[in-house]
Structure 1
Amino acid sequence: MTIADLPVPLYDALVRVGHVPHLLVAMDFDGTMSPLVSRAEDARPLPAAAAAFAALSGLEGTTTALVSGRALASLRAVATPPEEALLVGSHGAEIWLGPDSTPLKLNDSQQESLARALHCVDAVVATHPGTVAERKPAGVVLHYRQASAEAASDAVEHVRNALERENGLFITEGKMVLEVSAIRSNKGESIALLREVTGADAIVFAGDDVTDEHAFAALTTGDLGIKVGPGATAASFRIPCAQALPAVLELLLSIRTSSGAPRTP
């Protein structure tokens, strides 16, 4: 998809928001900056999306951020974000706002809760072929994209039955993943924090997963939410897939670097 292919309502909304004095461009990563892949470690941003995002990061009056469910270390490894970009990992449990950011530390109670979650998910993975456990600083993720439908359903049921009534543990479901965290956090809280620390006049946020709905709900008048792909959403606009995102970022870059961005007939 090129800029000229963007739907007229979305194009016009991007032009409007692109002219604010200070714009925050916040993007989910998996399924948004990068197409979804079978193995999380194989994900990479689409080159055109990465290039436009990096160029936006270097502009005066423009702040960029990646807001992801991945742990920060994993996000840095696969996304190779520009130095200027702010980073939110683990659905908001980990936040990097620059060199002075404080690393995440769990208290004793949270560490005990996390240990229970790790033990449970590891046990489930050991008996359900195709499932994988991913450890994070504040949680553990059950991946079941490569499992059979029966194994996936049974694995999710086992984890839920064992942990969803546990005090100090919070369960979030996404696309072919179930995450158990010792910290309650979501992307909506992260968007609110990013708005506060950057002083942005408007926010553009794009995401594809159900976990991104918290972020869409946190947007306010003047902001712009873009759902990537199918599914019910609170976002005002939609693009069909990650491959359409570069056109969105390239239009914003054109607007922020020129006096205007006339639509191609």
Structure 2
Amino acid sequence: MPDAPAPDDLGTDAAGGVPIDLRDRLLAVAADTAARPLLVALDFDGTLAPLQDDPAASRILPAGVEVLASLAGLDGVALALVSGRAMGDLHTLAEVPPGTYLIGSHGVERARVTLFGLDRDVVELAHTEADLLAVLGARAAAVARGRDGVWVETKPTAVVVHTRLAEPQDAEPAEAEAVALGTELGVGTLHGKDVVELTVLRADKGTALQALRHELGAPVVLYAGDDVTDEHAFAALDPQDVTVKVGGGPTVARHRVADPAAGVAALAVLRDALERASRA
């Protein structure tokens, strides 16, 4: 399947830069009662929340908060966020309504938002995995040491080398060393935008997303993401599903929007069409 059009090649309508082909597909899904329950699953950073140099500053666009709340309130719609972030960070930053599924750490962690917090699946490591995680942390810290702007995040099952704040002369060798470390230790390695994640439990967004869709019995999934790690989800989904790349770069997604604002506008198109269908 050819890549989705590049941002400069998108034929858009007046509805916030939503490409015409995507708009037509969303309208068709909304009109198809056999597509229920519809699973709307979305990456967080770079998809709903514009990328920030400081990850703690990421927030969903205000229009996105509103449209997610209204989508979650519709019958026959399930909402999920699928992120590389650790579950704790994702829950803290994501302004999503109760009932939303949260998939963190690229599929390792899963929870559902409730009125009282999180109904969370417990992730337990074997002793050998915990020991390996400790080694990863120490070795990743050595990769970052002495390189301005390179820092290490520790997750329940992984360590992450971040380079977004680093200059290329520090970022490029740090990422290369982190990838080599993953190969040396035989752990799962995910190389995304300005980040390398090394995990002792192998998982990917595609596997996690398909597991959720089968659990819910969702005949159609809409998934939108911006990073190379989202390509796992695009590739894993089925021909009837709606896959949306946010921003530039090669992709196997069937549709593309230019930026998070256009992605939120596309969600508003879907929401409005679903509301009209429910009144018909």
TM-score (ref. length: structure 2):
0.88
Question: CA 1:127–1:221 in structure 2 vs 1: closer, same or farther (change >3 Å)?
Answer: same
Question: CA 1:41–1:100 in structure 2 vs 1: closer, same or farther (change >3 Å)?
Answer: closer
In structure 2, stretches of 5+ residues that fail to align are 1-12
Determine which of 187, 190, 196 is the counterpart of 1:172.
190
CA distance in 2, matches of 1:65, 1:176: 24
Determine which of 131, 153, 172 is the counterpart of 1:134.
153
Number of the residue aligned with 1:7:
19
Deviation per residue, 1:135-167 (Å, 9 max, x gap): 111001111011110111121222233331213
Determine which of 37, 40, 60 is the counterpart of 1:22.
37
Letter in 2 for 1:184: R
Number of the residue aligned with 2:9:
none
SS of 2:185's partner is: coil
In structure 1, stretches of 5+ residues that fail to align are none
Taking the TM superposition and a 5 Å limit, the aligned residue runs for 1:56-205 are 56-97=71-112, 101-167=120-186, 169-205=187-223
Deviation per residue, 1:104-136 (Å, 9 max, x gap): 111111111111110011122222111111111
Number of the residue aligned with 2:7:
none
SS of 2:250's partner is: coil
Deviation per residue, 1:45-70 (Å, 9 max, x gap): 00101210111111110000000000
Q: Is the 8 A contact 2:104 2:110 kept in 1?
A: yes
TM-score (ref. length: structure 1):
0.93
Number of the residue aligned with 2:69:
54
Question: CA 1:260–1:199 in structure 2 vs 1: closer, same or farther (change >3 Å)?
Answer: closer
SS of 2:125's partner is: coil
Letter in 2 for 1:118: G
Higher alpha-carbon deviation: 120-129 or 142-151: 120-129
Give the drift of 1:101: 4.0
Q: Is the 8 A contact 1:87 1:97 kept in 2?
A: yes
Letter in 1 for 2:201: I
Deviation per residue, 1:193-225 (Å, 9 max, x gap): 111111112110000000000100111122100
Report the aligned-residue RMSD.
1.7
Higher alpha-carbon deviation: 252-261 or 149-158: 252-261
Instruction: Report how many aligned residue pairs link the two structures.
Output: 260
SS of 1:180's partner is: strand
